[in-house]
Chains A and B, each alone.
Chain A
Amino acid sequence: MGDNSISRDIIRGHIDAIILRVLCEGDNYGYEIIKAIAKNSDGKYELKEPSLYTSLKRLETQKLISSYWGDESQGGRRKYYKVTSLGEEAYEKSLADWKIAKDLIDKLIERQD
């Protein structure tokens, strides 16, 4: 499935919701978000960094997430993201929309013998 371009195209349209889901489970920073997504997909999907930054920037502009700097004593500074109440609403809505779309696509594609 990892090489399946159709499923990648479908996932691509839902990156914002995928990231919101990770952040709904707790504040997180860029690299850990990528890791969490890989883990949620059982290692079958890896979000690329350019897409991550684009999506985070968009979510922040839409005020669905907010950010703050972590206070690591060593190593690089980490920018953490936190979902806002607006973001939680958006996440619930994306989830509901996705379920409707999934049912519909199932009905449309699967043959009913």
Chain B
Amino acid sequence: MNSLEFYVDHLFRKYKASIQIQDLRFEVLGNLEAKVADLTANGVGYDEAVRMAKENLPSIDHLIDGNRTIYINQFRLEYVQITLLYMVIGWIVAMPLQFIRTGFIHWLFLISSAIIGVVYLVLLANRKNINMQKIKAFNLNAVFDLRKQVWLVWFIFIGMSIFITTALQFGSNIWFFRPVDISGPYQFAMIAIKYLIPFASIIVPVIFHIAPKLIMKYEVGENDGYKE
């Protein structure tokens, strides 16, 4: 394998070998070889020609279907900010729960908010020291797939927890055909809370849900990322 092939393999290392990507790989390699052949025919040394050819094509990320090049640090800052906001909202919503001995959710949100808050403050404080123009490629299709999978897992989790709560709560009533006895509004509330607690975990898919939109928001314009 010559050094050009090695370089092209390196450019494509992240991507699965689909037919389109293989095509693109061959095309890129063919063009780089043509360039090197042309330069060497005009008296440039081989190593220098290879170096010049590589220099012109530092990345192929923007050519992959679904890939979006984004300003990664700007994206990260806003993503952390939104996550923090959701955690604080979760904490406020969960506040009443601490009075009925299910305060752990309230604490979970509070601790998460504190941790994410610190991360956010550190990012904010370092804003001037980090390169806000730094770019990175994300595959939007993969992010959408991940989002779908996270929602699916969450729905399964909710389904399971409703089933388990029902089994624990009313299993014997169903098994022995005993009538359900809810003696008052407090008991009813306790049962309702048992069902509702797992729904606090909706914060996880919600946070995944906003990622694609943010990626699109911080996308680099077609020519912004390259110096002509």
Contact = CB atoms under 8 A, between A and B. Distances in A.
B57 A49 contact: yes
B63 A57 contact: yes
Interface stretch (B26-34, B82-90, B124-132, B143-151): B26-34
Given A48-B228, A50-B57, A54-B222, A76 B30 contact: yes
Contacts of B31: 29-31, 49, 76, 78
Most B CB contacts (10 A, CB to CB) among A35, A50, A75 go to: A50
Contacts, number: 64
Interface size grouping (class) on chain B: 20 to 34
A12 B228 CA distance: 9
A79 B226 contact: no
Interface string A1-31: 0000000100010000000000000000111
Contacts of B56: 48-49
A77 interface: yes
Nearest to B29: A76
Contacts of A31: 30-32, 34-35, 38
A51 B228 CA distance: 9
Nearest to A72: B30
B189 interface: no
Nearest to B35: A31
Nearest to B57: A49
A89 interface: no
Contacts of A57: 63
A32 interface: yes
Contact of A54 (B27, B29, B37, B63): B63
Given A48-B56, A54-B222, A77 B228 contact: no
B33 A79 contact: no
A98 interface: no
B37 A53 contact: no
Interface of A: 8, 12, 29-32, 35, 48-51, 53-54, 57, 75-79
Interface of B: 23-24, 26-35, 37-38, 56-60, 62-63, 222-223, 226, 228
30 contacts: A8-B228, A12-B223, A29-B30, A29-B31, A29-B34, A30-B34, A31-B30, A31-B31, A31-B38, A48-B56, A48-B228, A49-B31, A49-B57, A50-B57, A50-B59, A50-B226, A53-B24, A53-B28, A54-B62, A54-B222, A75-B34, A75-B37, A76-B31, A76-B33, A76-B34, A77-B26, A77-B27, A77-B30, A79-B26, A79-B30
